Amino acid sequence: MSAPFEERSGVVPCGTPWGRWYQTLEEVFIEVQVPPGTRAKDVSCSLQSRRVALSVCGREVLQGKLFDSTIADEGTWTLEDRKLIRIVLMKTNRDAGNCWTSLLENEYAADPWVQDQMQRKLTLERFQRENPGFDFSGAEISGNYSKGGPDFSSLEK
């Protein structure tokens, strides 16, 4: 069985002071570097539809209103190797045109080049889903890819 498209094609991360975030058509991933040896009981994480709050050892790391809505009861966080917290949020709007330009409404924005690369990746991911027999993992995209690229849904098959 082959790996999902987003795993084969890599990610387009947006670096932050505490780690990085990136996205696929369906999910937003937040990776937070924490001091080695951190235990789960040292972590406080609140995931709501439009808000996220994370503190480690009583220190606030991340808090604010998300760029767009998520499905609150499908959000998860894990502590990996006692040095990385990974938060996975499920987007409410899961089409290629819904490329988050920042993690929070006014913070952790992707720079223009990273934003462009994120949009290209989501457009390729959309093409992969629409054409499951093709391998787009090494593909490049150019032209009209903003807002998810061209809409071919009205064409006859």
pLDDT digits (tens, 9 = 90+) for 60-104: 999 999 999 999 999 999 999 999 999 999 999 987 678 999 999
144 within some domain: no
Number of residues assigned to the chain = 157
When divided into structural domains, the chain yields a total of 1
156 within some domain: no
112 within some domain: yes
148 within some domain: no
Classify 46 as helix, strand or coil. Answer: strand
69 within some domain: yes
Question: Is residue 2 scored above 50 in pLDDT?
Answer: no
146 within some domain: no
138 within some domain: no
Residue 156 makes CB contacts below 8 A (sequence gap 6+) with: none
Q: What is the CATH number of the domain that holds 61?
A: 2.60.40.790
Number of other residues whose CB lies within 10 A of the CB of residue 123: 24
141 within some domain: no
Q: How far apart are CA 28 and CA 22, in angstroms?
A: 6
Contact yes or no for 22/29 (Cβ under 8 A): yes
pLDDT (0 to 100) of residue 141: 75
Range of the domain at 83: 5-130
Question: Is residue 135 scored above 90 in pLDDT?
Answer: no
Task: Provide φ and ψ at 39, rounded to 5°.
Answer: -110, 155
Q: Which spans in 52-100 are helix H? A: none
Q: State pTM to two decimals.
A: 0.83
pLDDT (0 to 100) of residue 103: 97
Q: How far apart are CA 24 and CA 94, in angstroms?
A: 9
Residue 88 makes CB contacts below 8 A (sequence gap 6+) with: 27, 28, 29, 30, 75, 76, 77
